[in-house]
């Protein structure tokens, strides 16, 4: 009586899966070992490249106080706008007028509230 071979059983399938996972893990370990072995060389190359860039920038001959490359400070008005600046008296007068109008509006609102809400 001959037994015919069964198709792959669950045990055989799990063995195959485990063997596949083991080979994948071995590949990953080899890749990581190679990266670890190459790390000092890569770090040296990066450091050398950074030193070269730093020396190149330092030897360009720029002066730190070079005005042509400095950013313009916009806080103190735009001197290059081309239009003349109006007088400060006019701006102060307009500011006072707006302040008085707002003060009158606030007083009117307070009077209206007091007349409609009986305390």
Q: What is the pLDDT of residues 68-99, one digit of tens each?
A: 555 666 676 655 555 666 688 889 999 999 99
Q: Structural domain of residue 116, as residue ranges? A: 88-119
Q: Please check whether residue 103 lies inside any domain of the structure.
A: yes
User: Which residue positions in the chain have pLDDT lower than 70?
Assistant: 1-7, 61-74, 76-86, 119
Measured between alpha carbons, how far is 105 from 109 in angstroms, rounded to an integer?
A: 6
Q: Please check whether residue 4 lies inside any domain of the structure.
A: no
3-class DSSP assignment, residue 73: coil
Q: Please check whether residue 102 lies inside any domain of the structure.
A: yes
Q: What global pTM score does this model have?
A: 0.37
Q: Please check whether residue 92 lies inside any domain of the structure.
A: yes
pLDDT of residue 56: 87
Q: Please check whether residue 104 lies inside any domain of the structure.
A: yes
Contact 77, 85 (CB under 8 A): yes
Total number of domains in the chain: 2
Q: Please check whether residue 82 lies inside any domain of the structure.
A: no
pLDDT of residue 8: 72
Instruction: Encode 44-70: b = buried (16+ Cβ within 10 Å), e = exposed.
Output: eeeeeeeeeeeeeeeeeeeeeeeeeee
Q: Please check whether residue 81 lies inside any domain of the structure.
A: no
pLDDT of residue 7: 66
Q: Please check whether residue 77 lies inside any domain of the structure.
A: no
């Amino acid at each position: 009586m001959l037994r015919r071979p069964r198709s792959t059983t669950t045990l055989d399938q799990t063995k195959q899966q485990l063997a596949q996972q083991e080979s994948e893990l071995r590949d990953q370990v080899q890749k990581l070992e190679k990266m670890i072995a190459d790390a000092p060389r890569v770090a040296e190359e990066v450091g050398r490249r950074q030193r070269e860039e730093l020396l190149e920038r330092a030897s360009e001959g720029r002066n730190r106080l070079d005005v042509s490359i400095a950013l313009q400070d916009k806080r103190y008005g735009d001197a290059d706008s081309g239009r003349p600046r109006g007088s400060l008296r006019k701006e102060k007068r307009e500011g006072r007028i707006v302040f008085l109008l707002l003060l009158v509006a606030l007083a009117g609102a307070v009077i209206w509230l007091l007349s409609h809400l009986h305390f």
